[in-house]
Structure 1
Amino acid sequence: MNKLIQCAVASALLINVSMAFAVPDNLRVIGNLVEEPCTILPGDENIPMDFFDTPEKNFYAYGETPPKEFVIKLADCDTSIGKFVEVTFSGTPNLALPGFLALSTSSVASGFAVGLQNSDKTPLAIEQKGSKLTLQDGANQLRFYAYLKGEPDAIADKTIKVGPYSAVATFKLDYE
């Protein structure tokens, strides 16, 4: 009987304790629902680029690699909402090559950076809007280029370090 009373008292205490922590209206959800002209389909938001094996001698001979195309795929575009898009790439800047994307700190290789170009192969600095591109109804493909460029001092001193490398950028779409 004593154990039954102890269990009843303990249960009553637990009920009171849990009620003491209940606070009404303590979660508020806010936001701003917007209408965008296009969507990016799941799976198309990540764009892997592989420069495969690049001989470091290419940097000493040419200074940079040939540009490699990549595409941002847009779907379900509605030109009644927006007729143009500008793309801005952001990431960690390379200190030796302003406007270029730095290699990730986990990279073994060093002495070079990633450059970006618009579809017409004009330079596109990180943190700056690209060319204004005209949208069409339906699917659109925004074409850009990336290339590797040796840092001037690393080329002059022949100190480009070989090994695995990576770089990460984020793109933002601004519609008009």
Structure 2
Amino acid sequence: LVVQGETLAEVHFPTISRKDLMVTGQSARVPVVFQLKDCKGPAQYEVRVTLTGTEDSEQPGFLALDASSAAQGVGIGMEKTDGTPVPINNTSGATFVLSNGNNNLNFNAWLQAKSGREVTMGEFTAFLTATFEYI
């Protein structure tokens, strides 16, 4: 597992248009990649990745923005690249088949507008913890 200091990965969303977000209710997907290096195990072994953090009180399964964020009215969704949702604080997580050597665990993140809420644009932060369980 490649870890830089205490941070596993940082996700930077591009500038998002409030109008576009209000029309579709979602931003474009942004790739999130966890890199596992030098994996060794039996054939077709797997890893389960669970994501934990502060869940958005209005959007179950979505990550809440930190209270210090200027942006409001959105939560952060996570999914595998095949579109399978990976809800925050769900013990099922996402499962990936591993091979010996290096493996990329590919996810997407996006902003989801809260239903019936005004979206306030601005900078934001949110934190989650990824737990890896080899199965």
Equivalent residue letter for 2:2: L
**In structure 2, how many angstroms separate the alpha carbons of the residues matched to 1:109 and 1:41?**
30
Report the counterpart of residue 74 of structure 1 in structure 2.
36
Equivalent residue letter for 1:93: E
Does structure 1 residue 147 correspond to structure 2 residue 110?
A: yes
Cα deviation, 1:75-125, whole Å, max 9, x if unaligned, reads: 111113981101000000001111000001110110000000013111110
Which aligned pairs between 1:1-176 and structure 2 lie closer than 5 A?
40-43=1-4, 45-80=7-42, 83-128=45-90, 129-154=92-117, 159-176=118-135
Equivalent residue letter for 1:131: A
**In structure 1, how many angstroms separate the alpha carbons of the residues matched to 2:113 and 2:3?**
35
Distance apart, 1:57 and its partner CA: 1.0
Structure 2 segments unaligned to the other structure (5+ residues): none
Structure 1 segments unaligned to the other structure (5+ residues): 1-39
The structure richer in helix per residue is 1
**In structure 2, how many angstroms separate the alpha carbons of the residues matched to 1:62 and 1:152?**
11
Would the alpha carbon gap of residues 90 and 51 (structure 1) be closer, same or farther in structure 2, given more than 3 Å must change? same
Task: Give the number of aligned pairs.
Answer: 133
Which structure has more relative contact order (CA 8 Å, sep 6+)? It is: 2
**In structure 2, how many angstroms separate the alpha carbons of the residues matched to 1:63 and 1:80?**
43
Q: Secondary structure of the residue that 2:9 maps to in structure 1?
A: coil
**Structure-1-length-normalised TM-score:** 0.71
2:2/2:8 contact within 8 Å kept: no
Q: Which has the larger radius of gyration?
A: 1
**Backbone CA RMSD of aligned residues:** 1.8
Q: Secondary structure of the residue that 2:22 maps to in structure 1?
A: helix
**Structure-2-length-normalised TM-score:** 0.91
The structure richer in strand per residue is 2
